[in-house]
């Protein structure tokens, strides 16, 4: 893993609640494309933290959807730069669900889960052009 000034890998965490607007299918099911968008947001933050520039998410080498998510779920998207090249940044990404709504109790009830549930994982590569890198990062 690439070191930072304090010898820790570059990482990022985003937390959000999936809204009714995120529901795409019957039963308030959220489309995998929405999760891909969230992976892209984490990758963008990682590039900013690493290089001071949003960079460009060039592609994914792996994406796995493990369990469905629904409108009202609370999720956490996590990412870490696992390899740093001259302009490329390989990233490990995951999304977990940490809370879910409880409409059976009331329209505003929700429960934190005892253990977060792994929803999806991905590995991707972001590219930050050399002339846009404002922080140490390239080899």
Q: What ranges do the domains of the chain cover?
A: 11-132
Helix or strand or coil: residue 47?
helix
Which tens digits make up the pLDDT trace of 52-108? 999 999 999 999 999 999 999 999 999 999 999 999 999 999 999 999 999 999 999
pLDDT at 135 (0 to 100): 75
Tokens of residue 131, six digits: 């002339």
Q: Under CATH, which number does the domain 11-132 receive?
A: 3.10.129.10
pTM of the model: 0.88
Which tens digits make up the pLDDT trace of 47-62? 999 999 999 999 999 9
pLDDT at 50 (0 to 100): 93
Q: How many CB atoms are closer than 10 A to CB 42?
A: 24
């Amino acid at each position: 893993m690439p070191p930072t000034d304090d010898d820790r890998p570059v990482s990022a965490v985003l937390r959000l609640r999936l809204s009714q607007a995120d529901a795409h299918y019957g039963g308030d099911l959220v489309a995998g494309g929405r999760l891909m968008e969230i992976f892209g947001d984490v990758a963008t933050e990682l590039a900013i933290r690493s290089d001071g520039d949003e960079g460009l998410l060039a592609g994914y080498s792996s994406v796995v959807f493990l369990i469905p998510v629904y409108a009202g779920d609370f999720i956490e998207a996590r990412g870490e730069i696992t390899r740093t090249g001259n302009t490329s940044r390989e990233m490990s990404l995951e999304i977990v669900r940490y809370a879910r709504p409880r409409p059976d109790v009331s329209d505003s009830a929700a429960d934190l889960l005892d253990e977060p549930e792994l929803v999806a994982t991905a590995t991707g590569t972001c590219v930050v052009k050399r002339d846009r890198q404002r922080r140490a990062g390239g080899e």
